[in-house]
Amino acid sequence: MDSIFALASAPGKAGVAVVRVSGPRAWEAVRALTGSVPLPRQSSLRRLRDAGGEVLDEALVLVFDEGASFTGEKVAELHLHGSIATQRAVLRRLSEFDGFRLAEAGEFTRRALENNRLDLTQVEALSDLIEAETESQRVQALRVFSGKLGERIELWRRQLIEAASLLEAVIDFADEEVPIDVTERVTYLVKETIQSLEREISGISAAERLRTGFEVAIVGAPNVGKSTLLNALTGREAAITSEIAGTTRDVIEVRMEIGGLPVTLLDTAGLRETDDYVEQIGISRALERAKTSDLRVLLLGDGVSPEIDLSPDDIVVRSKSDITGIDGGISAVTGQGIDELVGKIADLLKDKVSSAGLASRERHRVAFLAGQDWLKQALAHLAFGPERYELSAEEIRTAIRALEILIGRIDVENLLDEIFSSFCIGK
């Protein structure tokens, strides 16, 4: 097997740059660069030299033994001075060693999966952790990366293996001293797993929104102050404001954090009757995005009724209170009521994620639903007693396989390229 290397820190000039090396000859590279290999997990200050003995850099060197590293292989980390020239020189020197090559995207993590250092849910969570922009995303990703989802799946798997084993004991050893009717115990195990699956399935939508971000649409009539509100919330001129009605034609999206949650604010075209074809397209898009958004902030002028049907979660506010003097209204110009509006948005979104579970991807939902369906069929067969134990056992085994796919035990090759494509080269 090749030994691989790559820059593990962000590309470009930095105070410190980290080069990671993994594979059977990783320590040989350290010995060739520095003259000796430090003790595992003990940082050592060493001079790195090229093939001619010239000093490339003075760096901190760390090595990890096989089975005790991120990838499960022998690993070395070189903590360099972060100039681009130094990084290039060290990477070039590593490429000169026999059996060494630059790592592909996500290859370090893929080797960790193949060496059972991570399961597939942890791999996905590591990707989410790297991409996390908000505190809530970091916490969610870290929970899964710590192995909690894998532990839950493993618990279900053990319960179902016990259930299938009881049925197969009766099927295969009917003449031995085993329970003749194990229906009660198997039914309990299967129902317990189904209920646990249902709880996890119910929290997937909220967890997925937490991972990918919420959409909050600002809607209302032309010139009601939507773009000005967007600019006030984001703290910059993200949208053009004008006295001319219909200035906003397309949906403007701005990513930000509200209450620790990832949010994309949508500034939409003003809702009104118009003969302008382009503006009609903008209004149509505004209505569609408002319909699919997680939350809507409806801005109304003084004495104006809503232009759309309201839902329980809609936030309705009167705008331009600096001009109208409306009590309880907001003014994006003076800031009146803005903090209260942000707080209300945060509270409503937090309510939506209160039921979030550990699973957060569509493939999780598909596997959980498939497993649940197989288990319900197993229960149906169990109702007929021992005469259908064989059919029930097969349904349970199929459910186990559906759950094993989630953590990467079987049949995951078609998933790996898609999952690892989002990783950087050094991860």
Concatenate the DSSP letters of all residues of 300-315 into one string: E-TTPPPSS---TT-E
Radius of gyration of the chain from its Cα atoms, rounded to whole angstroms: 29
User: 195: phi > 0 → left, psi -120 to 50 → alpha, else beta; which?
Assistant: alpha
Residues 6 or more apart whose Cβ sits within 8 Å of residue 258: 216, 342, 345, 346, 349
Locate 7 and state its tokens. 């820059």
* Tens digit of each residue's pLDDT (9 = 90 or more) over 66-100: 999 999 999 999 999 999 999 999 999 999 999 99
- So what's the pLDDT on residue 399? 94
- List helix spans (H) across 35-182: 84-95, 107-114, 120-131, 135-145, 148-172
- 169 pLDDT exceeds 90? no
Distance CA 378, CA 224 (A): 59
- ∠ Cα 415 419 424 (to 5°): 150
Residue with the larger pLDDT of the pair 178 and 251: 251
Looking at the predicted structure, is the pLDDT value of residue 192 above 60? yes
Q: State the first-to-last Cα distance of the chain, in angstroms, to the nearest integer.
A: 18
Distance, in Å, from the CA atom of 217 to the CA atom of 245, rounded to the nearest integer, reads: 19
Interhelix angle for 183-202 vs 389-407, to 10°? 30
Where residue 1 falls among pLDDT bands split at 50, 70, 90?
confident
Which of 254-263, 324-333, 356-365 comes out lowest in average pLDDT?
A: 324-333
Task: Transcribe 404-427 into DSSP letters.
Answer: HHHHTSSS-HHHHHHHHTTS-TT-
pLDDT in tens, 356-384: 888 989 999 999 999 999 999 999 999 88
Whole-number pLDDT of residue 63: 97
For 293-310, write each residue's pLDDT tens digit: 888 888 887 767 777 777
In whole angstroms, what is the distance from residue 11 CA to residue 29 CA? Answer: 22
Above pLDDT 90, what percent of the chain? 48
For the chain, give the mean pLDDT: 85
Average confidence (pLDDT) over 86-115:
94
Residue 238 pLDDT class (50, 70, 90 cuts): low
Residue 227's pLDDT band (cuts 50, 70, 90): confident
Q: With bands split at pLDDT 50, 70 and 90, how would you rate the model's confidence at 241? A: very low
Give the tokens for residue 291: 């319909």
How many Cβ atoms are within 10 Å of 195's Cβ, its own excluded? 11
Q: Count the residues in the chain.
A: 427
Q: What confidence tier does 231 reach under pLDDT thresholds 50, 70, 90? A: confident
The pTM for the full model equals 0.76
Which residue has 């001319």 as its token pair? Answer: 244
In this prediction, residue 414 carries a pLDDT of: 45
What DSSP state is assigned to residue 394? H
